[in-house]
Structure 1
Amino acid sequence: MSVTAVPLRPIAKGSVRRFWLGIVLVGACAATLSWAGVRQFGSTESGLRYQIIKPGEGPSPTRDDFALIGYKGTLPDGKVFDENPGAPMEIAGTVPGFAEAITLMRKGGRMRVWIPADKAYGASPPPGIPANSPLQFDIQLHEFKTRAEIMEAQQQQQLQRMLQQQMQSQQGESGAPMPDMAPQP
């Protein structure tokens, strides 16, 4: 039995260096893509998990604020139990996990959240939601106002009503029509 020798060509100068440079470049790209995908997901100390779909802009609301929210709530089996494209709500008046999620958002932002059962309705849920069920919500924060802004708007409305009532009573006494006091554009 004879062995035939096959001549091996020498490796071109710089080929090994280019090979390892390619490996490093592919690894760096993979790490960057992985980091970009992971940074949209998060969790809080309370166990709330979330995915930021659209970050939004400006400051975040607090639990004392009032917000206009679009949301869709689903059970673990995917069944939708509640949905509203534009619900005004006091953030503090919602379940703890939902309130926490809203305070992580910014105006115009969209988020998907997974709320653990103890931060949702727990053992006493409303009809249609099983006891101790974790919930998933898709939430969009349309707008929010602070408690001070809401109070100021209410005071302005009360003042306008008082002025209108006073003008109507004066109109009734004199019989002459009163000029329109509505603000002009």
Structure 2
Amino acid sequence: MKKLSLLLFAAVGLLAGCVSDDENVQIILERDLAQIEKYVNENPIPSVKELVDNGTGIRIYWTAVSNSGKKPVKADTVSVNYTGKLLNNFVFDTSIESVARANNVFSPNRKYEPLRYPIGLGFTIPGFEFGILQMEQGDKATIIMPSLYGYGSQVTGAIPANSPLIFELDLLEVKKIKVEDPLP
């Protein structure tokens, strides 16, 4: 019996080793998309505008559209308030103190203020950047992304590996990059 169990264990290990990384990514993406679809069906997000990027599976639901015309481009500095959640609505991070307190994630050692950073230079996860780049200053939106565009297979704090993520974003400011005048 012991030999049979060991043989079965070895066979499973061998078969698991035959699956390529690309196939694993595709399997995880398909699972994420199914979980996101289920979440959206069970938790409708009121929106005035929607975007589903079929290439990435990222969904954006605008709750407010400003029509400011100030859309960020690479290297512009953006200021954004955000709340990050898992698909079970567990808040894992926020830039808003009242939200942190209400969801028991408040840290007295942290300064709660809008996140300010140059967009498109890899300072945040890809799905977050993708969402911000679709917005205009003054827009508010909920972004839902497959784990591939979040933290992937990494465990990050309270975020389990391969977790699709939700971010509620409020794009407060887009500060355009200044291009110096060309030399004469």
Say whether the fold is shared (TM-score over 0.5). Answer: yes
SS at match of 1:72: strand
Q: TM-score, normalised by structure 1?
A: 0.57
Question: 1:37-93 deviations in whole A, cap 9, x for unaligned?
Answer: 887222113211010111121131023221110010001111100000412123231
Cα distance 1:39–1:141, how it changes in 2: closer, same or farther (>3 A)? closer
RMSD of aligned C-alpha atoms? 2.2
For residues 157-172 of structure 1, the aligned pairs below 5 Å read none
TM-score normalised per structure 2: 0.57
For 2:118 and 2:155, locate their aligned partners in 1 and report how far apart those are by CA, in whole Å: 19
Matched residue, 2:57: 47
> Structure 1 residue 134 and structure 2 residue 134: aligned?
no
SS at match of 2:178: helix
**Runs of 4+ residues deviating >3 angstroms:** none
Aligned residues: 115
Unaligned 5+ runs, structure 2: 1-45, 97-113
Structure 1, unaligned stretches of length 5 or more? Answer: 1-36, 152-185
- Name which one, 1 or 2, has greater alpha-carbon Rg: 1
Distance 1:126 1:148, change over 3 A: farther
CA contact (8 A) 2:82 2:95 kept: yes
**3-state secondary structure, aligned to 1:118:** helix
Any residues of structure 2 matched to 1:66-145 within 5 Å, and which? 66-85=77-96, 86-92=114-120, 93-145=123-175
Per the alignment, in what secondary structure is the counterpart of residue 148 of structure 1? coil
For 1:39 and 1:137, locate their aligned partners in 2 and report how far apart those are by CA, in whole Å.
17
The one of 128, 135, 146 aligned to 2:176: 146
Aligned-residue identity in percent: 29
| Matched position secondary structure for 1:58 | coil
Answer 1 or 2: higher relative contact order, Cα 8 Å, separation at least 6. 2
Q: Contact 2:48 / 2:63 at 8 angstroms: preserved in 1?
A: no
